[in-house]
Structure 1
Amino acid sequence: MLKQLFFGSALLTATGAFGATPVSPVGEAVNLNKYREDVKILASDAFEGRAPLSDGEQKTIDYLVTQFKNIGLAPAFGDSYIQKVPLAKISADQDMTLTIGDQAFENGAEFVARTERISADITLNDDVVFVGYGINAPEYHWNDYADVDVKGKTVIVLVNDPGFASQRKDFFNGNAMTYYGRWTYKYEEAARQGAEAVFIVHETMPAGYGWGVVQAGGTTTKYSLIDDNNNQSKVGVMGWMHLRAAQKVFEAAGLNYREMKAKASAPGFKAIDLNAKATLKLHSTFEMAESQNVAGILPGHTAPDEWVALHAHWDGLGKGTENGKEVILNGAVDNASGVAGVLSLARVMKGMSEKRPNGRTMMFGAFTAEETGLIGAEHFSLNPPVPAENIVAFLNIDGMNVNKATDYILQYGEGLSELEDYVAKVAKSQGRFVKPDPRPQNGLFFRSDHFAAAKQGIPSYLFMSLGDTDPSFIAQRYHKAADDYLPEWDLGGVEQDLDLIGQIMAQLANNGDWPEWTGESDFKAAREASKQ
């Protein structure tokens, strides 16, 4: 067993839903009463939902810095626990209409549009091209942009990737979404191709959520990092289009949407000029601001420049409206539970390091603006305290199982990195098995902070169990005011998952291993490039 490398053969047990669960000295050292206290405080009304750039942000940062100091962690960013994250707060004027050909579409009901460029006004009067899934993936021998020039044009693309349409596991990744299926990739690739605007056709099944989610996210204030050129290299208009609107566009062009989607899902598809122009006037206002990442470290004894990172995003959604009333979205499970887990393991590892110092440095972090696009994690990954190639692994907690212990651990993605082997072996030592993501089509691996680190080549792993042991959570409490701390939480799942994560951290901090990406991917290529 891997755990025996560092903790001998001592085993303790915790009683869960399925009986006795082996717990190592890491799990035994977790103080669940202190864990409860951390969640209760972070998810209290006093913290106002922990929205970036709010009073709740400063209360959160102050609390975390105080805890890191009390634990005895050193600052992660030179002499500071805080990394400033420059943000643009972007609000699009919702008084706009999209016209394609001679058809006008209503904002919110039929399309949404925004920008990350620092440009007050963007005016479209562009030719419209259907480019299938908008994917350029050499490893899959797939390029929807082959033999077409979309510079300065508006492109319409399908959501998800051809694998989902085929359900063939040997085609892309079948039902499991690849990064090429994520909406973020669609915008990135269109910008690389020189397109001025992108409209993604929304369909509930391949997207993994309904139009209401798109409407809510596309019509509210958003945040973005700012590059040296005020984000001018990004696509001008980032849009979504309701399926009914897309069907009208294709019908006006003398095409059947379903037939074109079928052609776009098969090899050999060629982009189609829809012989229409898109017109839109997008006006946006901007507010420049700074948010904050926070992190502390336990310096390594023999290899201090090699870091093993554990993280959970501290931000929540702040305040919202439910049934016509203002409410506080306290985000107890998402993600006060994860932040409390980071603090708990920091306390455990600090105590163990006093008996036996770790070889490598352990980092314990909490970043901003995950809920608005992994922004804090992206800034950290582009500006890490040590070179990215020196970060051994990035472990991310995004919602813990606050209910009873389980006989499994969820895994998002498959065959991505050797970190999966660590998880499987430690889970087995706990009497558990690895359960594949029950909703692989949602692409959850690409939707939390570890993904920003993965894009820089850092082997990364997502620990997320919110909703899996309580099916009602997603429907009734996720991103709602009902996501509050509940005193009846069992926390058996928290104990066993922190035990597992802590064992992996301890192993990587001492065994000299460098987990690698498995299989060909952009992650692996980025890791190899960072070492050159």
Structure 2
Amino acid sequence: MVRKLIASAVLLTSTMAVNAADNKLSHIGQSLNLDNFRKDVKTLASDEFEGRAPLSKGEDKTIDYLVSQFKEIGLEPAFGESYIQKVPLARILADQDFSLQMGGMTFENGSEFVARTQRISETIKIDNDVVFVGYGINAPENNWNDYEGVDVEGKTVIVLVNDPGFSSGKPDFFTGNAMTYYGRWTYKYEEAARQGAEAVFIVHETMPAGYGWGVVQAGGTTAKFTLVDNNNNQSQVGVMGWMHLRAAQKVFEAAGMNYREMKKAAGQRGFEAVDLNQTAQLTLDNTIEHKESRNVAAILPGSESPDEWVALHAHWDALGKGMENGKEVVLNGAVDNASGTAGVLELARVFKEQAKENPYKRTMMFGAFTAEETGLIGAKHFAQNPPIPAKDIVAFLNIDGMNVNDATDYTLQYGDNVSELEDYVEEVAKSQGRTVKPDPRPQNGLFFRSDHFAAAREGIPSYLFMSLGDTDPQFIANRYHKSGDDYFESWTLGGVKQDLDLIGQIMAKLADNGDWPQWTGDSDFKDARKASGR
């Protein structure tokens, strides 16, 4: 009889635990208040916030709003006694009255090339030889090294955008049409610096880049922010440039070569870098300011494992003010990314209320970081200076643009066989009656272009939730990074509700089940996590 009573008690306790867990999951979607979401987006994306540019009055308003919301919700500060993590930045703006001389020709800034630097130097001057190094990739695991047998120390290199897999038609060559990190412009500058090059010009082509020249021109001719290392970034390349396709064709023609033929050759194994027998001359006169921006984050402490964190994040910044058709406009960034920031706030409210009766075992972090639009800078600073050891962050979930329209029968996945977080997404999506669809634009390399990537590089399993145009085909063409990215009362928010429910259920599972998701595919991320002891 005693054994039966004990067995019954154990079964009852187990059943109660399962029911409590199911209760938490089922009530996330039911507890979402879309009126709160609307209010947050309308506020953050209003003209009063001036486009939320880092180091602007719009930043001050944004930070004040986020901190006040976290306090009102009742969350604790994530950074000791503060909700704020200071992010030291340098703002670098080159005098735009300069040109590039190459191959006996003069190219116009903005229309034919763009160039900037991250070195903390008032003047950057190049006068050196030019070498074409194909895709500018050194990938031992792919038996590929464009720099093999060539000395580019102190020289200018011209490289192709994306990676050799893009136009190969072979899904097992690199990763076929899906961009690898070797295809990202950030990698190409990093590798060129490791090889000792002084300047890099990436040849722009719209399809393999994933965006038109206008995006390059807008980003390359305005002030940029950068973190600053102990050597004032002197180990980075002096000139980070892009070259319009037409300009590149002229350069190759002046060297007695055909650009298309050289591009085709560069996509084949055994390609050898080519000296173009030309020189490049360019001078950047820079104005440099040192300032501090801010990350914001709050926590809901765990009841049993408070030193293990499940992180949810969105970048709070947009692009501030810009020019369209000769007029100054405010780039409010309602979808990108006031929507993501509002999503973080609303899930924070839901979980805080839930935890009053059913606390979570692990700590949940709710964050919003600065300067994503200028190079994932706030996220890099957080990942390199986390409030707890990076190995104790269970997962980093990132929202970068939400589906503000009707609900869908799918969710998008960026990357494939990246981490076990993909299994969580598939399981919860299935429970919602949805499928997981692959990224429809894999050539854009979106996995490498948002804040979670900074966490991934430190080994933290990370996942991107993004909806930028898949439910509104006109968004990318007409509103993305433009003044048209405003809040609209006509938003139905069906997608917001289902996606916040999806993200919330994943957070809830990770906060209670004791799991440590792992990287699955071979990568530097996997190596970093393994080195941390996880």
How would you bin the TM-score normalised by the shorter chain? over 0.9
| 1:29-68 equivalences in 2 (<5 Å) | 29-68=31-70
Letter in 1 for 2:358: R
Deviations 1:356-395 (A, max 9, x none): 2211111000000111111111111111111111111100
Aligned to 1:340: 342
- Identity, in percent, stands at 75
Relative to the length of structure 1, the TM-score reads 0.95
> How many angstroms does 1:173 deviate by?
0.6
Q: 1:8 to 1:508 in 2, by over 3 A?
A: closer
CA contact 1:359–1:510 (8 Å) conserved in 2: yes
* Matched AA of 1:44: S
Structure 2 CA distance, aligned partners of 1:351 and 1:186?
A: 46
Within the candidate set 108, 111, 117, 1:109 is matched to 111
Instruction: Give the structure 2 partner of residue 422 of structure 1.
Output: 424
Give 2:259's aligned residue.
Answer: 257
For residues 21 and 461 of structure 2, the distance between their equivalents in structure 1, rounded to whole angstroms, comes to 27
2:222 is aligned to 220
- Other-structure match for 2:406: 404
C-alpha deviation, 1:9, in angstroms: 5.2
Alpha-carbon distance between aligned partners in 1 of 2:516 and 2:327, rounded to the nearest angstrom:
51
Cα offset for 1:324?
A: 2.2
Provide the C-alpha distance between the structure 2 equivalents of 1:115 and 1:61, rounded to a whole number of angstroms. Answer: 28
Structure-to-structure mapping, 1:1-16, within 5 angstroms: none
Tell me which residue corresponds to 1:267: 269
Residue in structure 2 matched with residue 387 of structure 1 by the alignment: 389
Asked if residue 164 in structure 1 is aligned to residue 162 in structure 2, the reply is no
CA distances 1:83-119 after superposition (whole Å, capped 9, x unpaired): 0001111001112121123222121121111000001
**1-side partners of 2:19 and 2:255: how far apart?**
66
Report deviation, 1:323.
2.4
CA contact (8 A) 1:320 1:329 kept: yes
SS of equivalent to 2:166: helix
Establish whether residue 137 from structure 1 lines up as the match of residue 139 from structure 2.
yes
Does the C-alpha gap of structure 1 residues 344 and 465 become closer, same or farther in structure 2, counting only changes over 3 Å?
same
CA 1:83–1:8 in 2, change beyond 3 Å: closer, same or farther? Answer: closer
Q: Which residue of 1 aligns with 2:530?
A: 528
Partner of 1:16: none
State the Cα distance separating 1:128 from its structure 2 match: 1.0
Asked if the contact 1:180/1:186 (under 8 Å) is kept, the reply is yes
**Separation in structure 1 between the aligned mates of residue 23 and residue 454 of structure 2, nearest angstrom:** 37
1:35 Cα deviation (Å)?
1.1
The letter for the 1-side match of 2:96 is Q
Query: Aligned partners of 2:103 and 2:485: how far apart in 1?
Result: 45
**Partner residue, 2:14:** none
Letter in 1 for 2:186: T
State the partner residue of 2:328: 326
Letter in 1 for 2:105: Q
Correspondence for 1:515 among 514, 517, 524: 517
Give the AA of the match of 1:301.
S
Cα pair distance change 1:350/1:10, threshold 3 Å: closer
Retained in 2: the 8 A contact 1:5–1:507?
no
2:9 alignment partner in structure 1: none
Q: Which whole-Å deviations, capped at 9, do the CAs of 1:273-307 have from their partners, x for residues lacking one?
A: 11111111111110111000000001112111111
Q: 1:5 to 1:213 in 2, by over 3 A?
A: farther
Q: Indicate the SS of the match to 2:287.
A: strand
* Counterpart-to-counterpart distance in 1, 2:18 and 2:276: 62
Equivalent in the alignment of 1:17: none
Name structure 2 gaps, 5 residues minimum.
Answer: 1-16
Matched, 1:202 2:204: yes
Question: Aligned partners of 2:329 and 2:350: how far apart in 1?
Answer: 35
Measure, in 1, the Cα distance between the counterparts of 2:282 and 2:327: 33
User: 2:475 and 2:23 mapped to 1: Cα distance?
Assistant: 36
The alignment status of 1:81 with 2:90, answered yes or no, reads: no
Task: State the 1:46 CA deviation.
Answer: 1.2
Q: Which residue of 1 aligns with 2:12?
A: none
The residue aligned with 1:351 is 353
Report the AA paired with residue 378 of structure 1. Answer: K
Runs of at least 4 residues off by over 3 Å:
4-11
Gaps of 5+ in 1: 12-22
Counterpart CA distance in 2 for 1:354 and 1:216 is 48
Matched residue, 2:466: 464
The yes-or-no answer on 1:100 pairing with 2:127 is no
Alpha-carbon distance in structure 2 between the residues aligned to 1:381 and 1:307? 13
Partner secondary structure for residue 24 of structure 1: helix
Q: In structure 2, what residue type is equivalent to 1:452?
A: A
Q: 2:236 aligns with which of 234, 237, 255?
A: 234
AA partner of residue 85 (structure 1): V
By how many angstroms is 1:436 displaced?
A: 0.8
TM-score by length of 2: 0.95
Aligned to 1:489: 491
- In structure 1, C-alpha distance between the alignment counterparts of 2:22 and 2:347, rounded to whole Å: 21
The aligned amino acid for 1:231 is N
In the alignment, is the contact (CA less than 8 A) between 1:6 and 1:506 conserved in 2? no
Residues in 1 aligned to 2:328 and 2:281: alpha-carbon distance in whole angstroms: 36
Per-residue deviation at 1:425? 0.4
Superposition deviation, residue 6 in structure 1: 6.9
CA 1:7–1:174 in 2, change beyond 3 Å: closer, same or farther? Answer: farther
Over the aligned positions, Cα root-mean-square deviation in angstroms equals: 1.4
SS of residue matched to 2:356: helix
Structure 1 residues 7 and 145, CA, compared in 2 at 3 Å: closer, same or farther?
Answer: farther
1:230 and 1:389 mapped to 2: Cα distance?
28
Residue 162 of structure 1 aligns to a residue in which SS? coil
Letter in 2 for 1:57: E
